[in-house]
Structure 1
């Protein structure tokens, strides 16, 4: 169906998802028939698609086989036409860790930002409002403000950021470490 679509319309296109097929061999399980690999490779070629690559875990699907064996395969793919790749030349594909499914979710970031390391704009975090000390911090700070809203806002942002680090620690760093551990297990 997709090859018919491709031949009827010469469009810039992008496909992502579970193709339930492989371009290369898997790890574990029964041997894959060469004809299956050739058929999927032919589909990709006839649609003039390119594999967009990925970061993260190599395999996107897991199954427990007989006798406790683990079968790992890359069944989930992100493809784009060459025109699409030229338009979105910085696009990145990331295989995220599996959590609730036997398939790993795929994240495609069309415009990845390369912000200055160490700088992040101030963001008020919803979880802060569940902490009693934060309410007191806000009340105390704004009760003693000097009525220069611009200066006070910057100063409060700094104070809230320091408070966040003292109370919660570096949440982003903790999240990165947990994700790395999950990827390592998978």
Structure 2
């Protein structure tokens, strides 16, 4: 039996829901369920005009389920779209192999007006550069300083994202005030921008 979660003053078409259930039964497809938000679509309107519904779902037949018996579906929150991202995990998450860490220049640092000052001070702190070894040492010192500053200033972007993501999910579940939701959304968007800049830059470096 497929359940339809729908939060709105406007009723959904019962005939459409019956047709959808019939289609799933005919194709022998089963809803894989989910964890996270109880809906996947929010029109983001105020009051009685607000509509939340589990519009998107993951279904599969028994052959697929036998192959991916550990599959699970997670509803994530999005500060940008009116649809929630849906993540399908086909296997259990294994511990990632720790790879060597390389210090890279991060584009997101350029959003801070004090960046040139940090670079200048770190470069000057390494003294004279009369040969290539000293230049290399100076550059390494600048990068070491910038990463230390970045850790103190920004911390881990991915770890920082978890707090507003959890808070946004709580606010959406509570049907909280849109102003409060917007504040968390704006903060999350800034963090997502920083994460995207890091990902794009590292992808280009790896490709080269």
TM > 0.5 between the two?
yes
Q: How far is 1:71 from its partner?
A: 1.9
Instruction: Give the match's secondary structure for 2:7.
Output: coil
Give the RMSD, CA atoms, in angstroms.
3.9
Contact 2:74 2:88 in 1 (8 A): yes
Q: Is the contact made by 1:60 and 1:73 (CA closer than 8 Å) also made in structure 2? A: yes
**CA shift for structure 1 position 59:** 0.6
Deviates more, 1:85-94 or 1:44-53: 85-94
Other-structure match for 2:30: 50
TM-score (normalizing by structure 1): 0.60
Show CA shifts across 1:60-114 (max 9, x none). Answer: 1123679634221101011111111222222332222133332222222334523
For residue 91 of structure 1, the aligned residue among 45, 50, 71 is 71
Asked if 2 retains the 8 angstrom alpha-carbon contact of 1:97 and 1:179, the reply is yes
Change in Cα spacing, 1:100 to 1:159, as seen in structure 2 (3 Å) is: closer
Q: Which runs of 5+ in 2 are unaligned?
A: 127-133, 139-143, 173-208
SS in structure 2 at match of 1:76: coil
Q: CA 1:121 to 1:115, structure 2 compared with 1: closer, same or farther past 3 Å?
A: farther
Separation (CA, whole Å) in 1 of partners of 2:148 and 2:51 = 46
TM-score w.r.t. the length of structure 2 is: 0.55
Cα distance in structure 2, aligned partners of 1:95 and 1:85: 19
Mapped partners of 2:92, 2:102: distance in 1 = 20
Task: Tell me, yes or no, if structure 1 residue 106 matches structure 2 residue 86.
Answer: yes
Distance 2:169 2:45 in 1: 21
CA distance in 1, matches of 2:19, 2:100: 49
Larger RCO, structure (CA 8 Å, separation 6 or more): 1
Q: Is the 8 A contact 2:8 2:48 kept in 1?
A: no
Q: Is the 8 A contact 1:63 1:71 kept in 2?
A: yes
CA shift in 2, pair 1:55/1:160, >3 Å:
farther
1:161 offset after TM fit, Å? 7.0
